[in-house]
Amino acid sequence: MTEFPTSIGSSDAATINLLGQDLANDLMGHVGFGELAFWLVAGRRPLAGELRLFEAVLVSLTDHGFTPTVIAARLTLTGAPESLQGAVAAGLLGGGSRFLGVTEDSGRFLADALSDRQDDLPVDDDGWDALARTAVRREHDAGRLLPGLGHPIHKDGDPRTPVIVRIAEEEGLRGPHLRLFEAVGRVHPDIIGRMLPLNGAGVAGAALADLGFPPEVLRGFALLARTAGLVGHLSEEMRRPVGLDIYRDIDQAVRYRPRPPSP
């Protein structure tokens, strides 16, 4: 049979190896849960400043109220109260391109814009603005939406964005992705013709990219953060259920309309 290599871990009768460490003696009680999540994906333990920024990003992504994914999770628990894992899974499944994908798309957009300037990064805001103008114009001319801009509720500014930037600055981690993202915030109105706020999902993608994570794993951290939020909502749903009320209200607002013939 084929051998399957892994760097995550292994175990024998007496020991559990996780990431090359002795889980029981070297990790439990010595590393935090957020720290371990970073380590599992990065393959290295975060420094203290990195961990503070990383956990701030996770905290910022944990919950946003009764989002479509939270409603879906609560309604799933209504039908299958014996299967908490099913309700959490249903909630995560809405974490696709439209909501959670923004974090990944922003990280990728910024990484792409930086990719041919690796050895020649701007040294001041004017330089970052110029680089941002090129990237924004290319997206705009191609008819693509800029990821990480705009928010249905926080129209005049997402409160999470400046806090992530500040924490990154405090920890010496305000790197090229964040600087470019901030520059996008400054230059885009002249190009697209209106002012949109830099949103929390976008700044999360920029900060995670500055922590060294590649775009394709960013959605994973958004899902991890969201899982904590879902567990919170579902434990509330167990104590004080609203699923049947949501169902009843929606059901009463449904109106049957015969389907119009296809053209």
135 or 167, CB closer to a second copy?
A: 167
Helix (H) / strand (E) element for 9: namely: strand 9-11
Between CA 36 and CA 43 the distance in angstroms is 10
- Determine if 256 is a binding residue for a second copy (CB under 8 A): yes
Between CA 200 and CA 90 the distance in angstroms is 23
Please list every residue from 213 through 242 that binds a second copy, using CB under 8 A. Answer: 216-217, 219-221, 223-225, 227-229, 231-236, 238, 240, 242
DSSP secondary structure string, 96-139?
Answer: STTTTHHHHHHHHHHHHHHTT-TTS---SHHHHHHHHHHHHHHH
CB 215 within 8 A of CB 111: yes
- Determine if 90 is a binding residue for a second copy (CB under 8 A): yes
Strands 21-22 and 16-18: antiparallel
- Determine if 144 is a binding residue for a second copy (CB under 8 A): no
**CB 124, min distance to a second copy, A:** 27
Among 31, 110, 113, 184, binds a second copy (CB under 8 A): 31
Counting every residue, how long is the chain?
Answer: 263
Among 108, 160, 177, 188, binds a second copy (CB under 8 A): 160
From the list 110-118, 128-136, 180-188, 249-257, the region that binds a second copy by CB under 8 A is 249-257
Among 49, 78, 129, 175, binds a second copy (CB under 8 A): 78
- Determine if 68 is a binding residue for a second copy (CB under 8 A): yes
